[in-house]
């Protein structure tokens, strides 16, 4: 009897999976252009990755994927807008660590709750944050900038691409861990921030590799350290911060997510469209040149699990650092 029940349960599971697959296949998507909401200005690493994906998604699905930049409030404006969008798969959020996994632990007045208001589709790219100074800066090493940050006679300013962004919060965590002080100067994007960093109006900055690598290669910036757990292959000369301060790790990832309530069939179809791109050598090379490493292919459920883990990890980090920027 138990064996018969076991065979019946197995048959039921297989039939259910087949039915779900058939239901997904029967759901037409996309039938219209898809809007990709990005919470940062053009040229930001999240924007670069979104545009690379948009081009290949259009080729894969036959429908345009149009990037729409809605910068502001550390990337959370786009999140709130996406959360209020329709659930027919015509708007998808392309977001990153700062606004999606860190910001909710800091901003008390957010209109949306990313952990519950979205259905993750896929993790796309990842990169460490790099700690950089101008090439002519007197600070040659990580130890130099830590020593200066502990000296009240040496006021230093650091740039970010806006309040609540990943590089802002990374520096606040760095200050907490190293017992240093630097004054925050927020900018509207990496472009103006890096212009002032090179010009000496601010002295240091964390940022993702995409906007930094061309300036590093041109000899305009110096990398003091990487926030990754391991040496970054594009800047092998730069030590990890974790080598001096064990456990310190700051980086960023990007992901697609639909508003919660979007039919699972659409979520699965979007995931199925993204997965082959993550294994595409041409896209991988374009991404690598921009300082972005593609994730390995994963299911939507696995993307959701990774996001939930990072949401929890950053929440604990924010709490331990006693960060509050409201």
pLDDT in tens, 223-278: 999 999 889 989 999 999 999 999 898 999 999 999 999 999 999 999 999 999 99
Q: Does the pLDDT of residue 185 top 90, yes or no?
A: yes
Q: Is the dihedral of CA 299, 302, 308, 314 positive or negative?
A: negative
pTM above threshold 0.85: no
Across 5-17, average pLDDT: 44
Confidence grade of residue 169 (pLDDT, cut at 50, 70, 90): confident
Lowest-pLDDT choice from 21-25, 132-136, 321-325: 21-25
Measure the CA–CA gap between 268 and 280, rounded to whole angstroms: 19
Write down all domains in the chain, each with its CATH number in brackets.
Answer: 30-126+252-321 (3.40.190.150), 130-243 (3.40.190.10)
Across 178-203, average pLDDT: 95
31 CB-near residues (< 8 Å, 6+ apart): 63
Across 19-41, average pLDDT: 79
pLDDT of amino acid 173: 87
Round the average pLDDT of the chain to a whole number and report it: 89
Which ranges constitute the DSSP H helices of 27-151? 45-61, 76-83, 97, 114-117, 142-149
Q: Of all helices (H) and strands (E), which one includes residue 133?
A: strand 130-134
């Amino acid at each position: 009897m138990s064996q018969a029940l076991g065979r019946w349960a197995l048959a039921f599971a297989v039939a259910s999976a087949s039915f779900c697959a058939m239901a997904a296949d029967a759901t037409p998507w996309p039938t219209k252009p898809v809007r990709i909401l990005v919470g940062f200005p053009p040229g930001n690493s999240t924007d670069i990755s979104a545009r690379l994906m948009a081009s290949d998604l259009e080729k894969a699905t036959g429908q345009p994927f149009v990037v729409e930049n809605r910068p502001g409030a550390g990337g959370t404006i786009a999140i709130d807008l996406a959360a209020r969008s329709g659930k027919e798969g015509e708007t998808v959020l392309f977001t990153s660590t700062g606004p999606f996994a860190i910001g909710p632990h800091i901003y008390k007045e957010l209109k949306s709750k990313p952990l519950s208001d979205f259905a993750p589709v896929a993790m796309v790219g990842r990169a460490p944050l790099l700690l950089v100074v101008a090439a002519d800066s007197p600070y040659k090493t990580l130890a130099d900038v830590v020593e200066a940050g502990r000296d009240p006679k040496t006021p230093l300013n650091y740039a970010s691409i806006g309040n609540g962004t990943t590089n802002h919060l990374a520096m606040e965590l760095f200050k907490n861990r190293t017992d240093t002080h630097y004054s925050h100067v927020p900018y509207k994007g990496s472009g103006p921030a890096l212009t002032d960093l090179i010009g000496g109006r601010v002295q240091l900055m964390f940022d993702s590799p995409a906007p930094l690598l061309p300036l590093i290669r041109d000899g305009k910036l110096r990398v003091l350290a990487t926030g990754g757990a391991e040496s970054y292959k594009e800047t092998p000369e730069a030590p990890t911060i974790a080598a001096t301060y064990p456990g310190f790790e700051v980086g960023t990832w990007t992901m697609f997510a639909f508003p919660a309530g979007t039919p699972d069939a659409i979520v699965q179809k979007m995931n199925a469209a993204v997965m082959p791109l993550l294994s595409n050598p041409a896209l991988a090379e374009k991404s690598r040149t921009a300082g972005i490493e593609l994730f390995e292919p994963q299911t939507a459920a696995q993307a959701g699990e990774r996001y939930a883990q990072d949401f929890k990890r950053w929440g604990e980090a924010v709490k331990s650092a006693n960060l509050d920027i409201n």
